[in-house]
Amino acid sequence: MRTVKWNAFLSCLCVLAAALGGLAASVRADVTIDKGASVLIFPKVRADGTFETTIQIANTGNSLVVAKCFYVNASGSQCQETDFTILLTKQQPTVWVVGSGRPYGYYGGIQPGAIPPMGNSFIGELKCIETDLTGAPVTGNHLKGETTIEAVRTGVDSKTGLQVTIGDVTKHNALGILGNPAATASNPVTLDGGATYAACPGKQILNFLPTGSSDPLSPATTRNYNELTLVTCQEDFENQLWPTVVVQFLVFNSYEQRFSASTSVKCFLNTELTAIDVPSRQNYFNTSVFGVGVLQTNEAQVEITPVPYSNGTSTAVAGVGERILVQAGTATRAGINLHTDGDLVAVPPDQIRMPTGF
């Protein structure tokens, strides 16, 4: 039998590396809006005749960066993916409008490549993954992004039933997933908690003013509403497969009282909070655990947690919120990046599988 001799110093190094690896996994938790990243998630993108979205992406690095981007249109009965590639020179920012895309030469600056228009029936998400020139994912952490969602008409949003006022603007930072610069990534992109990429959050927290509550600045004439958008972190663009995730909501009011609700997410969820537990919309101010009639306080927090499947595996979700203030028929929105607490390193880890070459 062959005997393997261990060098004590080498063994020590390995143990140290493993320990540091564990530390890295524990400190490098989840999605971020404060760092350049290797994967960008824009959970809420709308170009549907009610809203139009402007996307900004920038390369924060000193060398050329390629990003493979995937629109996921959830406006129909199933999710539909469309992808394209952008190429950014060092420090280059770029911008486009989702509905009209970025035809070659349409805006000034070095052209990042043609970006397809999504027309006026798009509700969904955008994910962009940093790659090399061959299309293989790389963990460079050079990408950052923002969305600006503008209302293009006044009326009622058919998606959520909420009031919309033309010109209103909502701004979000894109969610970034960090890659481990020391790792070699491959397709599928594996959100393993730090060995290759950070994982999606285990828990997200939204502070909100209960739906139906009046605004503290102008109590007599105002109502607050809340919109939540969630997307799954596991996506298979090669086989066009998306998991269905049950999401648990734990709501705490200012009296420390706890309420709960749940719903399921298949690739994309965009809803007013009270529609989660009162889809009939009957008297929802007073019957929903997100409504002012139930919560009885002007402020609440909700913890949003994906529930593991019965076989022990799980899939994380990531998202954004919006507060909507309606005053005498005029609506205004504010974008909210959700707080996150810890990561969900699923077994097996969440993966984003890009289409392979033909």
Using CB under 8 A, which residues numbered 119 to 148 contact other proteins?
144-146, 148
Segment lying near other proteins (by CB under 8 A), choices 19-27, 67-75, 79-87, 156-164: 19-27
Q: Give the tokens for residue 194.
A: 């730090």
Nearest approach, Cβ of residue 323 and other proteins (Å): 6
Nearest approach, Cβ of residue 135 and other proteins (Å): 23
Phi, psi at 109, each rounded to 5°: 95, 175
Residue of the chain from 218, 262, 283, 286 that contacts other proteins (CB under 8 A)? 218
Chain residues 233-272 in contact with other proteins, contact rule CB under 8 A: 252-258
Q: Is residue 217 a contact point for other proteins (CB under 8 A)?
A: yes
Segment lying near other proteins (by CB under 8 A), choices 38-46, 176-184, 231-239, 280-288: 176-184
Residue of the chain from 188, 243, 335, 349 that contacts other proteins (CB under 8 A)? 335
* Distance between CA atoms of residues 28 and 32, nearest Å: 10
Segment lying near other proteins (by CB under 8 A), choices 185-193, 264-272, 293-301, 347-355: 293-301
Segment lying near other proteins (by CB under 8 A), choices 15-23, 114-122, 156-164, 280-288: 15-23
**Nearest to residue 28, comparing CAs of 165, 200, 184?**
200
Would you say 38 or 354 has its CB closer to other proteins? 38
Would you say 219 or 279 has its CB closer to other proteins? 219
Residue of the chain from 81, 130, 168, 235 that contacts other proteins (CB under 8 A)? 168
Chain residues 87-126 in contact with other proteins, contact rule CB under 8 A: 89-95, 97, 107-110
Nearest approach, Cβ of residue 101 and other proteins (Å): 12
State the amino acid at position 237 in one-letter form: F
Q: Is residue 316 a contact point for other proteins (CB under 8 A)?
A: no
Q: Is residue 212 a contact point for other proteins (CB under 8 A)?
A: no
Q: Is residue 333 a contact point for other proteins (CB under 8 A)?
A: yes
Would you say 188 or 319 has its CB closer to other proteins? 319
Residue of the chain from 50, 60, 196, 229 that contacts other proteins (CB under 8 A)? 60
Q: Is residue 21 a contact point for other proteins (CB under 8 A)?
A: yes
Nearest approach, Cβ of residue 258 and other proteins (Å): 7
State the amino acid at position 248 in one-letter form: Q
Segment lying near other proteins (by CB under 8 A), choices 178-186, 236-244, 277-285, 308-316: 178-186
* Distance between CA atoms of residues 299 and 122, nearest Å: 33
Would you say 6 or 358 has its CB closer to other proteins? 6
Residue of the chain from 120, 160, 173, 287 that contacts other proteins (CB under 8 A)? 173
Count CB atoms within 10 A of the CB of residue 144: 20
Count CB atoms within 10 A of the CB of residue 2: 3
Q: Give the tokens for residue 262.
A: 């749940």
Q: Give the tokens for residue 265.
A: 């997410």
Sign of CA dihedral 29, 35, 41, 45: positive
Q: Is residue 194 a contact point for other proteins (CB under 8 A)?
A: yes
Q: Is residue 183 a contact point for other proteins (CB under 8 A)?
A: yes
Chain residues 25-54 in contact with other proteins, contact rule CB under 8 A: 27-36, 52, 54
Would you say 342 or 348 has its CB closer to other proteins? 342
Q: Are 185 and 137 in contact (CB under 8 A)?
A: yes
